[in-house]
Structure 1
């Protein structure tokens, strides 16, 4: 028994050492011009499928056959998805073609995924794949509309898709105030998600968020102890919400961009930041 334990320990140490060597040596080519190895690609695919199926298991889809719902999904697919996935008779954009792993066509999506799983993927996105989360930009109806369109997609010819996309009207997105409520998250989790989904962590080091130590904007640790915001207005909840939503109205000429943050999310973000003592 002791030999087995020592053997297991030695194997674990050797595996950890090999992994450390790969990470620190730069041997693995992270360039998008180099494919993943088949082993790694298959490993990521299997992990993704199992993860999505587990998390989507209790989702109950609404009826998806209404033509108006399909048309809404077609509009959003046309405006936001074609650039990476293409469509019948429409090539992927340059960004989609240059990604690795390649975001392939979704004509076969319903053969690989159930409607509840497509909803989960569209809402939450997929880490390390380029697939974004649309929860903060689409309403729940619009998320299901995309799923309804994907359900119709395999039957569409190039001409059918062109007609549907041309007649669908605009995608009803871009209203952050209508984003999904977060019943399953704590206030802290929801605030951190709002900060990430509005790209705040791309510029700022924010306690509680995983980042790559950004150096663009100042770190936000201890924000609740600060007396002013941007050095111009008192650090109050009302002023912070205004700063988050419309930085230029607080400090003209600031490099801080307006990120189209809705009222609810701005308040969540402000409460979290003010609690950083």
Structure 2
């Protein structure tokens, strides 16, 4: 009799949990389909949503960064380099001691927030991973293909030092100019080119095979470039021509709406290698 009662209790509990899960899933699907959740950046996330997303982000970073080996950090030249890079690439969204973020950084949701306490919340290898790969749906970009390995670790070294800097020390260190890192050309690597396309946000105007993005009709779709008789309306579909067009459209067509994105020679070569393979 006791065993039967126990089985009944367990069965009831399981059915109750399944029913509750089904109701929650149905409710979530209804909110999703109806569009009731406000995704506008002029309003904040509901606290439970924010907390859930933040914890998921922390768990993901820690999992993916656990195998990264941290090198020696903190020599003066590395700190100066990291400070210059921070001023150039990070302060606009995250600010610094006595230095507010720019208007667009203040208006983002979720708020990027200051990094003066980042070293207390993240291990160096985790800061490296975040800098390298970015965070989806947060505005935090991936710097993997724009900053070299040494520069990424220089930024991490600076973030470790940042909690110890007052306003004057921060301004003095961040005043160093961040000189460009070596170009590091890898040749026409289509796999790298696919990643770089996303870094330059090419998919914001073009539909590109293999690159995730919204359905857009701003620029022409970029499939089958190698099979077209001309590209950019006037050029033979060669890699050199495509590189020239990617790097400086107005030099080829002064009336072109496509902007010059500051694409490096090596990045343009890899992008063209990918596009001409599709």
TM class, shorter-chain normalised? 0.7 to 0.9
4+ runs of 1 displaced by more than 4 Å?
Answer: 3-16
Given the alignment, which residue of 98, 116, 121 partners 2:107? 98
Shift of 1:210: 1.3
Provide the secondary structure at the position in 1 that maps to 2:90.
helix
Q: Take 2:272 and 2:19, find their aligned partners in 1: how far apart are those partners?
A: 49
2:3 counterpart residue number:
none
1:241-264 CA deviation, whole Å, 9 max, x = no partner?
222222223333211222222233
C-alpha distance in structure 2 between counterparts of 1:214 and 1:174, whole Å = 34
Matched residue, 1:34: 43
Alignment-derived partner of residue 203 in structure 2: 201
> In the alignment, what sits opposite 2:237?
235
Equivalent position of 1:161 in the other structure: 170
Give the match for residue 69 of structure 1. Answer: 78
Counterparts of 1:11 and 1:223 in 2: how far apart (Å)?
A: 52
For the 8 Å contact 1:237–1:270, the answer to whether it is kept is yes
Verify the 8 A CA contact 1:137 1:174 in the aligned structure 2: no
Q: Is the 8 A contact 2:190 2:273 kept in 1?
A: no
Is 1:84 matched with 2:86?
no
CA distance in 1, matches of 2:271, 2:169: 44
Q: What runs of 5+ residues in structure 1 fail to find an aligned partner?
A: 182-186
Question: For residues 191 and 253 of structure 1, what CA distance do their matches in structure 2 show?
Answer: 27
Q: Matched residue of 1:254: which SS? A: coil
Instruction: Give the Å deviation of 1:211.
Output: 0.9
Q: Which runs of 5+ in 2 are unaligned?
A: 1-6
Counterpart of 2:134?
125
Larger radius of gyration: 2
> In the alignment, what sits opposite 2:4?
none
Aligned to 1:172: 179
| Cα gap change, 1:233 to 1:260, in 2 (>3 Å) | same
Match 2:257 to one of 255, 258, 274 = 255
Paired residue for 2:218?
216
Q: 1: CA distance between counterparts of 2:226 and 2:151?
A: 36
Aligned counterparts of 1:146 and 1:72: Cα–Cα separation in 2? 8
Matches of 1:92 and 1:209, distance apart in 2: 31
Aligned to 2:207, the other structure's residue is in SS state coil
**Which residue is equivalent to 1:184?**
none
* Structure 2: distance between partners of 1:234 and 1:7: 67
Aligned residues: 267
* In 2, Cα distance between equivalents of 1:261 and 1:174: 14
Q: Distance in 2 between matches of 1:178 and 1:110?
A: 29
Distance of aligned partners of 1:129 and 1:245 in 2 relative to their CA distance in 1, 3 Å threshold: same
Please report the RMSD computed on the Cα atoms of aligned residues, expressed in angstroms: 2.5
